[in-house]
Amino acid sequence: MSESVQIKNALISVYYKDNLEPIINELNRLGVNIYSTGGTETFIRNLGVNVIPVEELTSYPSILGGRVKTLHPKVFGGILARRNFEGDEQQLAQFEIPEIDLVIVDLYPFEETVRSNAEEDEIIEKIDIGGISLIRAAAKNFKDVVIVASKADYPVLEDLLKTQGGTTTLDQRRSFAHKAFNISSNYDTAIFKYFNQEDPLPVFKESIQTSQVLRYGENPHQKGVFYGDLDRMFTKLHGKELSYNNLVDVDAAVALIDEFTEPTVAILKHTNACGIASRSFIKEAWIDALACDPVSAFGGVIIANDEIDAETAAEISKIFYEVLIAPAYTDEAVEILKGKKNRIILIRQVVELPAKLFKTLLNGVIEQDKDAVIEGPEQMTTVTKRQPTEHEKRDLFFANKVVKHTKSNTIVFAKNGQLMASGVGQTSRVDSLRQAVIKAESFGFDLRGAVMASDAFFPFPDCVELAAEAGILAVLQPGGSINDKLSIEMCDLKNISMVTTGIRHFKH
């Protein structure tokens, strides 16, 4: 091993040939011997550059329909041999194996093939064997070999070839190896996750290749990074980068708005809806969503499931908000919204979201299925003498959607497709209810004729009693308490309806 290594022999085996030509030309200029096989060999030859077939080196043809091409001691010996290690050098000479100083590999596109919904036989054929082996071998021997395992590193390699005359330093080779092991581990994780879909093994593996360093984490003294591709999820029209807290709220906003099909606007603070309304037109939805709690709306995240027009944009621009998300905006709306500095304006793209949720916990990770269940009128069982009206059932459905996405313990009041108030994150359910009543009264809402939804059962009848005194006419809860009978009896006494769904929606 030496600090500086001159590239004399290179092995190139890539699936995609994009941006490879400049590197081939530089290697040719430097007089480097190039070994290759299959389509890559043809590509190089068509550039008018001399290339040595791997079959000529190994004296063995590509077999099994191309499944075995580079898996040979004369290839891997040249990669793994330790330079200036006497025993290795002697064996290289004995078996006439050239030292391979540079390996360029672009793996079969396994993940792309899976995403294309191809048949399993095609997916299996895209599991790269030779390529992944070449990457690991060259990366292991980084003290003597350069490994380029990603098209993203082609410009780096090209610059080194041009500026350093085909020599590399140990630090440079270590850096390439570091990146190469990231490529190989991500590739193996993707294959494992494909096979782990049915009868899964109880192991946790995630690998995300794209990331964005955030200004800071939840607080300025904490570092933060987002792992994922935000550009696939959103098109940013205006404003600064999303912060850690923005992202947490945006995630909650997306989950909430996806429950609704009619034109709906929601305003969130600290992942909870402080305003939400469904109307025939998006402007009306915005006005009524803001009316729920215009104080908490200050500095919030706003999300809509319909196009924002100029009139709606003008109304939204009257308050300070952090982020606005919608599937589309008219040109006039965009110009109005851009008039406010630092407002983040996003177009939401159609992207499939994960079906699993996980987070670090204690000395490990906890994972669960996403809560993808929501109970509508068909899943509501009336347990009281009074039956809810059809209008009340619609409001109960609306309230149930909101309560599902609100921090426990929570109580939600709704009427006519509008959130009237909610009690959020309290340590007792009755405190959540009292908080919701106070909120509704402080903003002038009349709760008479409204409905109430609870994320979990009522342990005592006090919640129902207080709700009835506030004017609530119908209540939704999952049921399941040993004291359900007491709450039902209280409803009958107060002549209000209660429906149970059998599904709890805790959110911690």
Give the residue numbers annotated as catalytic, written as ranges. Answer: 140, 270
Angstrom CA distances, 171 to 2, 143, 218, 226, stand at: 12, 9, 35, 28
Q: CA-CA distance, 504 to 272, in Å (whole number)?
A: 18
Reduced to 3 states (helix: H, G, I; strand: E, B; else coil), residue 324 is strand
User: What CA–CA distance (Å, rounded) separates 10 from 42?
Assistant: 16
Distance from first CA to last CA of the chain, Å, rounded?
A: 55
Quick one: tokens of 306? Answer: 């319909």
Please give the Cα distance from 311 to 459 (Å, whole number): 47
The amino acid at 36: S
Residue showing tokens 């006090």: 462
| Torsional class of 270: left (φ above 0), alpha (ψ -120 to 50), beta (otherwise) | left
Q: What's CA 271's distance to the chain center, in Å? A: 17
- φ/ψ region of 498 (left if φ > 0, alpha if ψ in -120 to 50, else beta) reads beta
Looking at 118-169, list the stretches that DSSP marks H as alpha helix, in order from N- to C-terminal side: 120-125, 130-140, 154-164
Handedness of CA 311, 312, 314, 315 (dihedral sign): positive
Is the distance from CB of 421 to CB of 294 less than 8 angstroms?
A: no
d(CA 310, CA 476): 38
* Listed residue (309, 273, 213) closest to 425, CA to CA: 273
Classify burial at 48, counting beta carbons within 10 Å of its beta carbon; exposed 0-12, middle 13-18, buried 19 or more: exposed
Please list the helix, strand and coil fractions of the chain in percent, rounded to the nearest 5, in that order. Answer: 40, 20, 40
